[in-house]
Amino acid sequence: NAGVTQTPKFQVLKTGQSMTLQCAQDMNHEYMSWYRQDPGMGLRLIHYSVGAGITDQGEVPNGYNVSRSTTEDFPLRLLSAAPSQTSVYFCASSYRQGNSPLHFGNGTRLTVT
């Protein structure tokens, strides 16, 4: 049972480069989301999706794009990386019910120089 799988685990980018963080889940969860974790700030919601073809912005969406073409996958795209996007990124998923807890991936540590 893989759960939520994130790739890569580590990434270093130069300012202005683009990249995609991958997230896949095998639990048939409708809801998927991306958070970033910064020291002393907890986790902040970037984007989320309640099903294939449906996405919406969270608390800190600027500089990031998402799409949801399948139930399983929810990639996060950085169009033009900035040093302020240096962070640890977590993908999470759950059933689309209020009492369904989030299941988290192990994170991607991104450094932008």
Partner 1 sequence: AQSVTQPDIHITVSEGASLELRCNYSYGATPYLFWYVQSPGQGLQLLLKYFSGDTLVQGIKGFEAEFKRSQSSFNLRKPSVHWSDAAEYFCAVGAGEGAGGTSYGKLTFGQGTILTVHP
Footprint on this chain of partner 1 (rule: CB under 8 A): 4, 31, 33, 35, 40-45, 48, 50, 56, 58, 90, 92, 94, 96-107
If the CB atoms of residues 45 and 52 are measured against partner 1, the closer one turns out to be 45
Q: Which residues contact 1 (CB under 8 A, 6 or more apart)?
A: 26
Contacts of 25 (CB under 8 A, 6+ apart): 3, 4, 5, 32, 72, 74, 91, 93, 103
Q: Rounded to the nearest whole angstrom, what is the least distance from the CB of residue 83 to partner 1 in the complex?
A: 22
Smaller CB separation from partner 1, 44 or 77 = 44
